[in-house]
Amino acid sequence: MAWNGDENSYLEFIDRHSLTFDNLDDTVAVIFNDYDIPSQPAWVFLDQDGIIETRLGGMSKDVLEEILANL
């Protein structure tokens, strides 16, 4: 999710790093403000009951898969 920049910087970052996963343009910081995210990288998970969990920092593929399996 892009934040702390303009749309062109966001798109250039995706291109420069050849990112193939979905990216969310939050260059106006709506999501960062709504979920009180102070920095990147950050993760926001929403489970089937509508419970929101926010995690800061990097995450391994194994940890991510475990979290997703438990949502």
Do 18 and 41 belong to one domain?
no
What is the rounded average pLDDT for all residues in the chain? 88
Q: Is the pLDDT of residue 4 over 90?
A: no
Q: What is the reported pTM?
A: 0.67
Segment holding 56, helix H or strand E: strand 52-56
Do 43 and 29 belong to one domain?
no
Do 25 and 46 belong to one domain?
no
Quick check: 31 and 1 in contact, CB under 8 A? Answer: yes
Do 24 and 42 belong to one domain?
no
For 21-30, the pLDDT digits (tens) are: 888 888 888 8
Do 9 and 25 belong to one domain?
yes
Q: Is the pLDDT of residue 14 over 80?
A: yes
The domain in which residue 5 lies consists of 1-34
Do 46 and 27 belong to one domain?
no
Do 46 and 29 belong to one domain?
no
Do 66 and 45 belong to one domain?
yes
Total number of domains constituting the chain = 2
